[in-house]
Amino acid sequence: MFKQDMTALLRRHGLLFAFGIFLAGVALTTDTFLTVGNFLDVIRQVSITGMIAIGVTFVVITGRFDLSVGSMLTFLTVIVVDQHNVSGPFMAIIYVMIGGIVIGAINGLLIGFIGLNALIVTLAMLSFLQGLTLFYSGGANVNVQNAQNTWFAFFGRADLFGIPVPALIFILTAIVASFVLTRTTFGRQIFAVGGNETASKFSGIDTRKTIFFAYILSGLTTALAAIIMGSRVMGAQNTIGQGYELTVLAGIILGGTSLLGGSGGIWRTILGITMLGFIQNGLLLLGYPYYVQWLVTWVVIILAVWIDLGAKRGKVFA
């Protein structure tokens, strides 16, 4: 009985135990890992990834994917920086918010209403947005003019009460999103569609509309992330969002949101993204090159999916 209980515990929380062991190992190896300054730096860094992940969590719970968010982040960051120089920061933010909603709506229309495969649609959108970015920018990087004299820097570089503003925006967005997901009819519909889409249709839920708005939320939170990114870097490269889609997905899976749909949560995602941020930070402090993060991300995805499927079917091996 004890052995069965321990097996079930490790299956459900094995990654958390492994994360705790990793944290202890890094803390014993380097003196800077558990400092307040390093903690705030990690939270500032994960706020961009986490902001995107909040919206994508809605999509994943419906049983779909959004692999376009990396290229969407690139495109919208280029837009907000370039339009800052053309129209000013206020209008640049408005343009980017509208852009994120429109891109999300296109994904939602194709997947929710037309019924196309989410993986194919979002991969195609990834390619389209990368090409659109290069067309818009002419292949050149863009930078904020007079970076020292604009209030736009507040979103990515400022602190309030000793806490980075990106982290505050991130936490506030998470609170609102968690309320929507757990306390509203729309949130319950998200879970219903992911749990059993056919039963949801017979229950009177407009599954097409639910999926449509889930993708709009994904586009909206990616637009917020682009504003933070542009404000923090005060510029944008044409590949600035490359790889974010995988990091976002890894954090969501690590937090326990099921790829099969129907289960998950915003705070689970926050936990997963934060864990991944500390893992990457610890590897850098230990002196490992940057590319090791991608290898570790691969391992995290495989283990998390393996554990998720094992929990669903009651055994780790098929």
Encode pLDDT of 188-220 as tens digits: 999 999 999 999 998 999 999 999 999 999 999
Q: What is the pLDDT of residue 33?
A: 81
What's the mean pLDDT in 132-137? 93
Q: Residue 215's closest CA among 50, 92, 72?
A: 72
User: How big is the CA angle at 129 (ends 186 and 46), to the nearest 5 degrees?
Assistant: 60
Higher local confidence (pLDDT), 316 or 70:
70
For residue 231, pLDDT over 90 is answered with yes
pLDDT at residue 270 greater than cutoff 90: yes
Residue 163 pLDDT class (50, 70, 90 cuts): confident
Phi, psi of 236 (to 5 degrees): -155, 130
Q: What is the b/e burial string over 117-138, where b = at least 16 CB atoms within 10 angstroms of the residue's CB?
A: ebeebbbebbeebbebbbeebe
Q: Quick check: 187 pLDDT over 90?
A: yes
Does the pTM surpass 0.85? The reply is yes
Tell me if 266 sits within 8 A of 177, measured CB to CB.
yes
Per-residue confidence band for 317, with pLDDT thresholds at 50, 70 and 90:
low
Tokens 């980017």, residue?
96
132 band by pLDDT with thresholds 50, 70 and 90:
very high
The pLDDT of residue 11 is 55
Between residues 23 and 314, the one the model is more confident about: 23
Joined together, the tokens standing for residue 246 give 């995988």
Burial letters 216-228, b for 16+ CB under 10 A, else e: bbbbbbbbbbbbb
Q: Where are the domains of the chain?
A: 18-313
pLDDT averaged over every residue in the chain: 87
Over residues 164-172, the mean pLDDT reads 94
Any idea which of 130-134, 271-275, 314-318 has the lowest mean pLDDT? 314-318
Give the model confidence (pLDDT) of 232-247 as tens digits: 989 998 989 988 998 8
Cα→Cα distances 117→108, 113, 172, 207, 287, Å: 11, 11, 32, 15, 41
Per-residue model confidence (pLDDT) at position 3: 53
**pLDDT classification of 82: cutoffs 50, 70, 90:** very high
Grade residue 292 by pLDDT with cuts at 50, 70 and 90: confident
What percentage of the chain has pLDDT greater than the value 70? 90
